[in-house]
Structure 1
Amino acid sequence: MKTHKTASSTILNILFRFGEKHRLKFAFPSGRNDFFYPSYFERGQVEGYQPGMCFNVICNHMRFRYLEVRQLVPPDAAFVTVLRDPALLFESSFHYFKNVVPLTWKLSGEDSMSEFLRDPWHYYDPDGINAHYLRNLLFFDLGYDNNLNSESPMVEARIHEVEARFQLVMLMEYFDESLVLLRDLLCWDLQDIVYFKLNTRRGSAISQLTPELYEKATNWNQIDSKLYRYFNATFWRKVDAYGRERMARDVEELQQENEKMKRVCIEGGQAVDPESIKESDMQPWQPLGEKNIQGYNLKNNIEKRYKRLCRKMLTPEIQYLTNLGANLWITKLWSHVRNFFGF
């Protein structure tokens, strides 16, 4: 379940690579890069869907609807999602989506987020276009009412529902530990979870939250805060069950492998601003009116054994999705040709 602004694009790249490597069957959105978000997910939104079809991987943005997803995957499918500190998520979402949320257009100046948090109800309309990006976005993505009273017993009930449905709830703040738990859950190898950070903003575009703003953002997103606190506790219980020392060793091993791949793949060893990206295929999507999302340049003369992996690890989400969709179409066409000619 791909949540917004939680490093989920990086996780998506991991899933795309694993699925492609093992020729798994993806449920892709029909003609889009999301499942008609922010509408609720429906099976009919899947490309080529017919009743009774079963898929190995569903991982594009959606507003979650458990029973619809459940009908598309095997009985033993693993349900996984990722959360982020709600105050930090709010900061990221506010700036990333501000040009598609009319509620923020009333705000002016460089400190518009501070102005919003000074008196949120002066600006916020629960029924406003794309207003969900401004309050309890995690709860909304998981399919629930993000404008519930935070003291309603329904909030706790929904949190327990998430726990019952998802085998693993990862935390962005403990990303490497989360990937180690994911590898353990799915019986993967270390190479399956190596990664580069994708879809990240340049440092100068990130607002530094003062303690006062952090508290205001946390209180404004009180439902997400309850959700996060609950799964922070369950996360560390899973780490304890895995073993703290074992976890530390595995995290170190993952980080060493990531550093090795940086040296192998990335020119300069780090992300660059969009205007410095040389290949158009490596250009990440930019939010409306902004050019803050960084990307990478591939090294020249990469060893042959790493060339394919390096390119895939660095390919932005939309381009990778497009490539996988094209490969799916070619596979379908070839299957029809084989059936027609009987070979």
Structure 2
Amino acid sequence: MPSLRKPWHSMAKALILGCLLTGFLLLFYAYLAPLQVNMADPQDETSCSSPPTLPVNTTEGSCQPKMDIVFMKTHKTASSTLLNILFRFGQKHHLKFAFPSGYNDFNYPTFFRRSLVHNYQPGDCFNIICNHMRFFYSEVHSLVTPNATFITVLRDPAHLFESSFHYFGMVVPFTWKLTGHNKLAKFLQNPTQYYNPQGYNAQFLHNLLFFDLGYNNELDPRSPQVEEHILEVEQRFHLVMLQEYFDESLVLLKDLMCWELEDILYFKLNARRASAVPQLTGELYQRATEWNQLDALLYRHFNASFWRKVEAFGRERMAREVANLRRENERMRSICIDGGQAVDAEAIQESSMQPWQPLGTKTILGYNLKKRINQRHKQLCRKMLTPEIQYLIDLGVNLWVIRIFKYIREFLRW
């Protein structure tokens, strides 16, 4: 009889979980369905008309830090690290964030609408918008002052695809039929055999950057619309950062926003364990690039414009600024991090420092805060090391959907 306990235990667990998931999905759909609106019918609402937020205690004629910023948070591009920088800056200057309600994104993958902002009232103005969304320029622009700074970050499309494939694979159902040790390689041998553009979460595996920026990720790369969209991004965004040159990107951001060095200090958040997945080979890299051709065209354009900005900034000046940033980051690492480096999830001692993990795995690294930190740096260290979900809660966001997912995960470990 004892030998039958485990199978019955598993069956009961699966049955209860199935009922919970079904009920949750029905509830979730009922909550989100009213938000599915026709993008061709703009809302008749008052746009933000407040003057830009001015800094305090600035000397006349000196560079004044800019306070109004929109960060179009793309997926798997070191965006969580940049998000932490914006959270800290907003707290430091008591700025007003536009946050979603219930979850950590604005109803992604549907288009952003101003009504998705928690407690939004017509005419509301915000200093910082920075959570995941599918970009809809006119709606976002209506929530900030006319001179707000728009930024985003891109990543080499092949490496972005590889990261997205492994991070989101469990929630993209059409990939479940893939077999073998290296499912990514099998997918790239013949993507159209497995890919379904209408499939649930399909956007994560095809031209994800193009999709996040609000465009059709299934366009023919030869379509004139592709170039039009790329030029539109260039017109709307004041700075397009590159994940591969993150430090250089932050130096350009600091210069653009007239911020201080402390404002752009960071530890790498939401990083994946290096051994979690095999690296792309030369052939697979080419296949991944070809499969994500729209993103490749986008990246190629902004890679060139990025280095033009670096040239205008000055190569030698850039080298000095990057060295200063890295030196200060290392100093903060020695002050803040127990052991000096990121560790696996199982080794993280505080639950408040546990990063959100992809479904079915624990490949995202986190940090342990040193027990003894001088009073001057104690608060800054904790903020720099706090993962996105916990930081949002600290900022007062009610993540009720995240809490439900957490309860389901805890049940799975029952």
Q: Which TM-score bucket, shorter chain as reference? A: over 0.9
Aligned to 1:152: 223
Aligned to 1:332: none
Aligned to 1:333: none
Give the Å deviation of 1:326: 5.5
Deviations 1:253-290 (A, max 9, x none): 00000000000000010000000000000000001111
Aligned to 1:171: 242
What TM-score results when the alignment is normalised by the length of structure 1? 0.95
- Structure 2: 5+ residue stretches without partners: 1-71, 399-414
- Structure 1: 5+ residue stretches without partners: 328-343
- Letter of the structure 2 residue corresponding to residue 84 of structure 1: R
Note if contact 2:99-2:397 (Cα within 8 Å) is conserved in structure 1: no
Deviations 1:152-185 (A, max 9, x none): 0100000000000000000000000000000011
- Letter of the structure 1 residue corresponding to residue 381 of structure 2: C
1:5-154 to 2 correspondence within 5 Å?
A: 5-154=76-225
2:288 is the alignment partner of 1:288: no
Aligned to 2:275: 204
Give the Å deviation of 1:108: 1.6
DSSP 3-state at the match of 1:81: strand
2:261 is the alignment partner of 1:190: yes
- Distance in 2 between residues matched to 1:109 and 1:187, nearest whole Å: 51
Note if contact 2:154-2:299 (Cα within 8 Å) is conserved in structure 1: yes
Aligned to 2:293: 222
DSSP 3-state at the match of 1:128: coil
DSSP 3-state at the match of 1:204: coil
- Distance in 1 between residues matched to 2:74 and 2:305, nearest whole Å: 19
Please tell me whether Structure 1 or Structure 2 has the larger radius of gyration of its CA atoms: 2
- Distance in 1 between residues matched to 2:234 and 2:266, nearest whole Å: 27
Give the Å deviation of 1:207: 2.4
Aligned to 2:370: 299
Note if contact 2:102-2:397 (Cα within 8 Å) is conserved in structure 1: no
Deviations 1:39-64 (A, max 9, x none): 00000000010000000000000000
- Distance in 2 between residues matched to 1:64 and 1:207, nearest whole Å: 32
DSSP 3-state at the match of 1:320: helix
- Distance in 1 between residues matched to 2:83 and 2:93, nearest whole Å: 15
- Distance in 2 between residues matched to 1:293 and 1:91, nearest whole Å: 15
- Distance in 2 between residues matched to 1:215 and 1:130, nearest whole Å: 24
- Letter of the structure 2 residue corresponding to residue 311 of structure 1: R
- Letter of the structure 1 residue corresponding to residue 321 of structure 2: D
Root-mean-square deviation (Å) = 0.8
Give the Å deviation of 1:109: 2.2
**How many positions carry a matched residue from both structures?**
327
Shift >2 Å, 4+ stretches: none
- Distance in 2 between residues matched to 1:193 and 1:109, nearest whole Å: 42
Deviations 1:274-332 (A, max 9, x none): 000000000000011111000000011111110000000000000001110269xxxxx
DSSP 3-state at the match of 2:226: helix
- Distance in 1 between residues matched to 2:214 and 2:159, nearest whole Å: 21
DSSP 3-state at the match of 2:275: helix
DSSP 3-state at the match of 1:79: strand
- Letter of the structure 2 residue corresponding to residue 207 of structure 1: P
Note if contact 2:101-2:397 (Cα within 8 Å) is conserved in structure 1: no
Note if contact 1:91-1:207 (Cα within 8 Å) is conserved in structure 2: no
DSSP 3-state at the match of 1:203: coil
2:311 is the alignment partner of 1:240: yes
- Distance in 2 between residues matched to 1:41 and 1:218, nearest whole Å: 28
Deviations 1:220-277 (A, max 9, x none): 0000000000000000000001000000000000000000000000001000000000
- Distance in 2 between residues matched to 1:144 and 1:222, nearest whole Å: 14
- Distance in 2 between residues matched to 1:86 and 1:271, nearest whole Å: 26
- Letter of the structure 2 residue corresponding to residue 225 of structure 1: A
- Letter of the structure 2 residue corresponding to residue 52 of structure 1: G
- Letter of the structure 1 residue corresponding to residue 366 of structure 2: G
DSSP 3-state at the match of 1:263: helix
Aligned to 1:272: 343
2:383 is the alignment partner of 1:312: yes
- Distance in 2 between residues matched to 1:163 and 1:249, nearest whole Å: 27
DSSP 3-state at the match of 2:98: coil
What TM-score results when the alignment is normalised by the length of structure 2? 0.78
- Distance in 1 between residues matched to 2:111 and 2:367, nearest whole Å: 34
Note if contact 2:242-2:249 (Cα within 8 Å) is conserved in structure 1: yes
